[in-house]
A and B are shown apart, each in its own frame.
Chain A
Amino acid sequence: MHISEGVLSAPVLAAGASLSAAGVALGLKKTPYEKIPQVGLFSSAFFVASLIHVPLGPTSVHLVLNGLVGLILGWAAFPAILVGLLLQALLFQFGGITTLGVNTFDMAFPALLSFWIFGPLVRSESQRVALLGAFLAGALAILSAGLLVASALSLTGEAFRYAAKAVVLAHLPVMGVEGILTAFSVAFLRKVRPEMLGGSR
């Protein structure tokens, strides 16, 4: 999911950077004081998740956790993911500095979508609905991130269908793993810290 340096054209990089800058600004503004530690926590989880390799499928893929990050943080997913990606780029050489904007948007926008679409489900009275919502949030956030990566690549020449097929196929196992992981996390949080899922507060 990390697009490397020198792959994308300048306009794509600029567009990604400005979209992400807007998202980060909104995220910083909308985050209440009490929620900042959670942002740090989930930023760390996102940062470390990229090291957890899923040994299935045709190429090398890893966990992203953007669905879970989005469900908990909402708009604050933008700054959380930006910081995670920045440190991954600096310390692990994953992705790159120039592609930071595009990569942030590719992962944080699906996070926001999962917050909008599945947030209400996760807070539902019914445990079953909540778990299903969480699974879908985790899995679909990966799918949409993959499609965004493919679109970014296709804007710079690679044929969309080919790129999308490669990215989505490679991430099918991750979608399953993340769906399950997100469902477990939500089940845990509902029991232990329901206020973290928002809504009732």
Chain B
Amino acid sequence: MRWIVLVGVLLPAVAMAHRVVVFPYWEGEEVRVEAFFSDGTPVKGGVVRVYDPAGQLLTEGRTDAEGTFGFKPEGKGPLKVVLEASMGHKAEAVLEPEGASEPVQKAKAPPEEVPPRVDLKALKEVVKEAVAEEVRPIIRELARREVGPSFRDVVGGVGWIVGLMGIWLYLKSRRPRGG
């Protein structure tokens, strides 16, 4: 019917909505939490609570205008990050300890060689910071990608409805009509 056509016309303009996603990631020693609705809108002023594995509340805060929240955890985690936006939206995510930040000591130079003129540790920090800076858009992109329903989900859902309708019609058709 024409309704289906109307829905079909509206579909391409569709932006996905109404689910919140919380996406924590390591940024050096700090943890950054991104919170957004499934259409990509940042969750402003959402309450973020961080728990340790034992369920102890570690820290609590609100997301800023860009939907982010940062904090520096004591240990390495794992951390459970829970986001509560208004209107009954809630999401949680577990942040695994960052493996790469373990100090790697095998690059120690043998004593008889000339000591390197650069401070390796400082260099490593700088590189790490630069990489984090470069990688941030990719992380954000990844976070957003896992969000919205795909076209397949939509078509599948409509198919389910049609199927259920068929079952209902079948069940009713076995009884005398008119009820």
Does A116 interact with chain B (Cβ within 8 Å)? no
Taking a contact as CB atoms closer than 8 A, the residue among A59, A91, A152 that contacts B157 in the complex is A91
Q: How far is the CB of B18 from chain A (nearest CB, A)?
A: 5
Number of interface residues of A (CB under 8 A): 49
Q: Are A2 and B90 in contact (CB under 8 A)?
A: no
Bound-state CA distance A93–B169 (Å) is 28
Among B26-34, B54-62, B94-102, B158-166, the stretch that binds chain A is: B158-166
Q: Are B39 and A53 in contact (CB under 8 A)?
A: yes
Q: Are B161 and A55 in contact (CB under 8 A)?
A: no
A residues within 8 A CB of B164? 40, 83
Does B177 interact with chain A (Cβ within 8 Å)? yes
Most chain A CB inside 10 Å of its own CB: which residue of B1, B4, B157, B173: B157
Q: Are B161 and A44 in contact (CB under 8 A)?
A: yes
- In terms of DSSP, what is the predominant structure of the interface of chain B? mixed
Number of interface residues of B (CB under 8 A): 48
Q: How far is the CB of B24 from chain A (nearest CB, A)?
A: 18
A residues within 8 A CB of B168? 28, 36, 39
Q: How far is the CB of A130 from chain B (nearest CB, A)?
A: 18
Q: How far is the CB of A51 from chain B (nearest CB, A)?
A: 5
Contact pattern, B 99-123, Cβ under 8 Å of A = 1, otherwise 0: 0000000000000000000000000
Q: Are A50 and B18 in contact (CB under 8 A)?
A: yes
Q: Are B41 and A52 in contact (CB under 8 A)?
A: no
Residue on B nearest A80 in the bound complex, by CB:
B161
Bound-state CA distance A36–B169 (Å) is 7
Taking a contact as CB atoms closer than 8 A, the residue among A29, A37, A44, A53 that contacts B15 in the complex is A53
Residue on B nearest A167 in the bound complex, by CB:
B87
Q: How far is the CB of A150 from chain B (nearest CB, A)?
A: 8
Does B172 interact with chain A (Cβ within 8 Å)? yes
Among B73-81, B124-132, B133-141, B148-156, the stretch that binds chain A is: B148-156
B residues within 8 A CB of A8? 88
Q: How far is the CB of B126 from chain A (nearest CB, A)?
A: 38
Taking a contact as CB atoms closer than 8 A, the residue among A3, A43, A59, A153 that contacts B41 in the complex is A59
B residues within 8 A CB of A94? 18-19, 38
Q: Are A37 and B18 in contact (CB under 8 A)?
A: no
Q: Are A163 and B153 in contact (CB under 8 A)?
A: no
Taking a contact as CB atoms closer than 8 A, the residue among B19, B156, B165 that contacts A39 in the complex is B165
Q: Are B41 and A84 in contact (CB under 8 A)?
A: no
Given contacts A5-B90, A149-B88, A152-B88, are A51 and B161 in contact (CB under 8 A)?
Answer: no
Smallest CB-CB A-B distances: 8 pairs = A40-B165, A3-B88, A60-B37, A62-B17, A53-B15, A53-B17, A4-B90, A87-B157
Q: Using a CB–CB distance below 8 Å, which chain A residues touch chain B?
A: 1-8, 28-29, 32-33, 36-37, 39-41, 43-45, 47-48, 50-53, 55, 58-62, 83-84, 87-88, 91-94, 149, 152-153, 163, 166-167, 170, 188, 192
With A4-B89, A51-B17 given, name 10 new contacts (CB 8 A): A3-B87, A3-B88, A6-B90, A7-B89, A33-B172, A41-B4, A52-B14, A53-B16, A61-B18, A94-B19
